[in-house]
Structure formats: C-alpha cells, structure tokens
C-alpha cells in the first residue's frame, strides 16, 4: 500500500464506526479492511498527537484535534455513546501493543480526535490522586460517562 493510499484510507476511515453508518455498525464485527483502516487511522493520529504534544500546549492542541466539531455540550444519544465506547476500546487495545509507554493522555487525545472526526463531542478529563502516593490520570468522557479506562480513586481536576 503506497503512502498516498494510506492517506486516502485514513481520510475515509472516519466513515468506519461513524454515527451515519447506523446503529447496527456500533455492535457488529468489522471486516478485515475496516480493521486495517481504523488501526491505520489510530496510528496516524497517534503520531500526530505525539508530534504536537512536544510542541504545543494542551489547550490549543485540543482545539486543533477537535477542529470542525461543534459544541461540546448537548444531549448525549445512545448511538454516539455506543460508538464512543467501542472506539475507546479499540484505541486502548490498539495502542497497548505499542512498545512505547502509552501514557493515558496520549490515548485520550487520540480518542478525542477520532470521536471529533465522527462528529461525536467528548470531554478530556484529568484527575489526580494525592494519597497514598501522587498519581495523575487522563481519560475521555461522553455524556458524563467514561469511554476510556479510569478509576474512582482519581479526583477530577479539570475537564477540557
């Protein structure tokens, strides 16, 4: 597959697991081609996020990743929620195979971008745990529900 082909595939990939595809697609298995397309999209987005994270501050980076998305507020719907859940699972699973340390913030930004490309607004939440030891975690929420792994031990610090 040429680089141009990869780019075209990534551009079309937003149709995979998109709300316009209908409710059935939220649960039925993806074809091999669709799996390749979406994994490619995830990896390209991952590279973009990693590149920008070292050069751009978080708030403007989020704006860039959400380009074209309307308001972050608005009523949640079941279809978008199901798709968000599924995409969250796919992103977490895909990036878990990377040999690099997969920080939660990067995973969250990748998922935020994928969801925004499908017109699904999401919130990036950063939480912290002060005791017994300091820890911080980032995750994505849709409709006030987490679509990436999190834990109740983290107190919400900010929603972006």
Q: Which residues bind another protein (CB under 8 A)?
A: 57-59, 103-106, 108, 126, 128, 130-131, 134-138, 155-160
Nearest to 84 by CA among 40, 43, 30, 123: 123
Place of tokens 């708030």: 59
State the nearest-atom distance from the C-beta of 70 to another protein, in Å: 22
Q: Give 103 or 143: the residue with its C-beta nearer to another protein.
A: 103
Q: How far is the CB of 142 from another protein (least distance, A)?
A: 19
Q: Which is nearer to another protein, 23 or 158 (CB)?
A: 158
Comparing CB distances to another protein, the nearer of 40 and 129 is 129
Supply the minimum distance, in Å, between the C-beta of residue 24 and another protein.
Answer: 34
111 within 8 A of 123, measured Cβ to Cβ? no
Residue 132: is the preceding peptide bond cis (ω within 30°)?
yes
Q: Which two tokens stand for residue 137?
A: 């975690």
Q: Which are the contacts of 152, defined by CB distance < 8 A and separation ≥ 6?
A: none
C-beta of 40 vs 56, nearer to another protein? 56
């Amino acid at each position: 597959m040429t680089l141009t082909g990869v780019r075209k595939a990534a551009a079309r990939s937003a149709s995979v697991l998109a709300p316009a595809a209908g409710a059935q697609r939220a649960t039925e298995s993806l074809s091999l081609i669709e799996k390749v397309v979406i994994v490619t999209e995830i990896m390209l987005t991952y590279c973009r996020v990693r590149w920008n994270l070292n050069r751009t501050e978080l708030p403007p980076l989020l704006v860039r990743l959400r380009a074209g998305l309307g308001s972050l507020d608005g009523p949640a719907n079941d279809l978008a929620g199901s798709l968000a859940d599924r995409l969250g699972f796919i992103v977490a699973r895909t990036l878990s195979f990377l040999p690099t340390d997969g920080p939660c913030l990067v995973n969250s930004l990748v998922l935020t971008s994928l969801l925004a490309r499908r017109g699904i607004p999401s919130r990036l939440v950063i939480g912290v745990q002060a005791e017994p030891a300091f820890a911080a975690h980032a995750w994505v929420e849709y409709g006030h529900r987490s679509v990436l792994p999190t834990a109740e031990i983290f107190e919400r610090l900010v929603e972006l």
